[in-house]
Amino acid sequence: MEYIYAVLLLHTAKKDISEDSLRRVLEAAGVAVDDVRLKALVAAVKEINIDDVLRSSFAMPVAPVSAPTTTATATQQQATQKAEERKEEEEEKKEGVSEEQLAEGLAALFG
């Protein structure tokens, strides 16, 4: 997580996110720097828009609480939801790797 925090710190300060700048931030915090992780993170960060990732992570919609529904209505809603998810997955496949997937990958690597 220290690596991600360092990226966020540099981004917030509007500084260049490079291996050298990340190394200096991490060393100043007393973190032993792993060169492989550092290079992988810099390469991954260059391919995403950090502002968009931050906006999407803070703007997660909250599901409204609704009154109990009948079984038929619930089944229709599930079918509609599955169809929408399939459409979204097909669109994502067409687009390639999304920023959200890149962010999840970074979290898996460094989380």
Q: Return the axis-axis angle of helices 99-110 and 2-12, rounded to nearest 10°.
A: 130
Task: Check residue 100 and give its pLDDT.
Answer: 74
- The verdict on residue 65 lying in a domain is no
pLDDT tens across 84-98, in order? 777 777 766 655 666
Write out the two tokens for 20.
């050298």
Mean pLDDT (whole number) for 65-91:
69
Q: Is residue 72 part of a domain?
A: no
pLDDT of residue 30: 94
Distance between CA 17 and CA 6 in Å, rounded? 9
- Segment 70-75 mean pLDDT: 65
How many Å apart are CA 52 and CA 45, to the nearest integer? 12
Within-domain flag for 73: no
What integer pLDDT is reported at residue 82 of this predicted model? 76
Residue 66 lies in a domain: no
Band (104; pLDDT cuts 50, 70, 90): confident
Residue 91 placed within a domain: yes
Q: Is residue 76 part of a domain?
A: no
Q: For residues 1 and 6, what is the distance between their CA atoms, to the nearest angstrom?
A: 9
Query: Which 8-state DSSP code applies to residue 47?
Result: T
- Helices 19-28 and 35-45: crossing angle in degrees, nearest 10, is 130
Instruction: Report the CATH number at residue 34.
Output: 1.10.10.1410
- Closest C-alpha among 60, 52, 54 to residue 4: 54
For 87, the token pair is 């459409």
Determine the angle formed by the axes of helices 35-45 and 2-12, rounding to 10 degrees.
40
Predicted confidence (pLDDT) per residue in 21-69, tens digit:
999 999 999 999 999 999 999 999 888 888 888 888 765 566 666 655 5
For residues 72-85, average pLDDT: 73
pTM value is: 0.50
Instruction: Say if 74 falls within a structural domain.
Output: no
Domain of residue 41: give its range.
2-60+81-110
The domain tally of the chain equals 1
